[in-house]
Amino acid sequence: MCNWCPKFLKMLLRNSGFRNILYYGSRFKSNLIDVSPEVESALHEKKAVVALESTILTHGMPHPQNYETSITVENIIRDQGCVPAHIAVVKGRVKVGLSNEQLMRLADPANKPVKVSRRDFPFVISNRLHGGTTVCGTLVIANNVGIKIFVTGGIGGVHRFGEDTLDISADLRELGRHSIMVVSSGVKSILDIGLTLEYLETEGVCVVSYGSSNNFPAFYCNKSRFNAPYHVSTPADAAQLLQVCNKLHMNSGLLLAVPVPAEYSIDDSKMDSTIETALKEAEKEKIQGKDITPFVLDKVSLLTKGKSLETNIALIKNNALIGAKVAKEYENLSR
């Protein structure tokens, strides 16, 4: 490299606020992605960074709980010595690490943010729209910039009767493409957990429950009738799984399934009947595609008189705590 190149790159980085990505360790470099100075510095110095999706902010919770929860989650991650990195699209620019003003803008339903999965990036960016990234969309960008741990509430999966409708979340395919650990409370309860676990096996995703048993959590419920193949009981053990995955260059992900704390868990039989009612309403109103999940979650919140929202907030906070601890252990292993 010529003598002036490093100086030129430093000048670019110093003089750009939210700048185009120039992270040296990333697989791709794109002038469509803006990485915040805080996140970029942490990545460059190989410090612990935790990716966060933004559909919780734009579609998963009502206002103002969506904004308040996002701020709390970021603070939980910072308290563990890690850097939070919300990923979203703002005015057609992909953002990795959001300012407070950007969080507030995306949380406001009046701005009509779009739900962004892998397929949606070309349209949303070309039309300079606001968008909240799904698990799938967040994985795409996290992989681009080199973030290895990603915290969410629950992943998408195979919808009920998916064997007939082929309604399968793009989250599952994306999980099979990247060596990233996704920390979640399993699969959203409105889905077919058994078929989702089968699909994850097909995609080569290592599914591991966090805690003292292999039982796989069901989002609102801390237990289900399904088991994960394995379990780990400490953040250090979870971090070792990710390190091995990366050393083997497996290019497939890991799902760390963390049960919601027992005091917030909802009885599974009550939740099943509530979800059935919500799904019937969705069918009656002909809700389809990516609108189904937010519609059903809203109905479930109404039917449980806010209990499901309380549980949702509790589990994302707990996942952020566990995910940050894993990220810190992974940082130590990577040094």
DSSP letters along 12-39, please? HHHT-SSEE---TT-S---TTEEE-HHH
Annotated catalytic residue: which of 95, 148, 188, 328? 188
Residue 217 DSSP symbol: P
Can you point out the beta strands (E) in the chain? Answer: 19-20, 33-35, 49-52, 83-90, 93-96, 114-116, 131-133, 149-151, 181-184, 206-210, 230-232, 254-257
Asked if 148 contacts 180 with a C-beta cutoff of 8 angstroms, the reply is yes
Active site residue 40: no
Q: Report the distance separating Cα 227 and Cα 186, nearest Å.
A: 11
Annotated catalytic residue: which of 53, 74, 329, 331? 53
CB atoms within 10 A of CB 8: 11
Question: Which secondary-structure segment (H or E) carries 76?
Answer: helix 65-79
Backbone torsions φ then ψ of 177, nearest 5 degrees: -100, -20
Active site residue 198: no
Asked if 91 contacts 126 with a C-beta cutoff of 8 angstroms, the reply is no
What the block records as the tokens of 223 is: 């237990």
Sign of CA dihedral 185, 136, 244, 77: negative
Q: Is 216 left (phi over 0), alpha (psi -120 to 50) or beta?
A: beta
Q: Which of 222, 232, 225 is nearest to 192 (CA)?
A: 225
Radius of gyration of the chain (CA): 19
Give catalytic residues, as residue numbers: 53, 188
